[in-house]
A = this chain, B = another copy of it.
């Protein structure tokens, strides 16, 4: 079962979990309180998130605190890079167009 970040964030519950623990490390029980699914279902999500290294665990007695591995989120950002070039280009083109129009107006 080769997991990757993109598959991990496909599920809305998992995105919500990520957003939750981004603020502070939390235990599975505490996380589960925020959803209408069982603790075990949350645990499964956490396992998937751990497998693709989006999340790290820290044991504290019998509790396990989960927190976000922010570096992994950057992988998505890295993938976006190729498209960012495109949309910035479009902006430049729009800028140039507006500039051209403005100059033509000024010439009058």
In residues 54-73 of chain A, which contact B (Cβ within 8 Å)? 68, 70-71, 73
Number of interface residues of A (CB under 8 A): 24
Contacts A22-B82, A82-B22; A76 near B74 (Cβ below 8 A): no
In the bound assembly, the distance between CA atoms of A12 and B4 in angstroms comes to: 10
Complex-state Cα separation, A12 to B3, whole angstroms: 11
Chain B min CB distance to A60 (Å): 22
Q: Are B77 and A73 closer than 8 Å at their CB atoms?
A: no
Interface residues, chain A, with chain B CB atoms under 8 Å away: 4, 6-7, 9-10, 12, 15, 19, 22, 68, 70-71, 73-74, 76-77, 79-80, 82-84, 86-87, 90
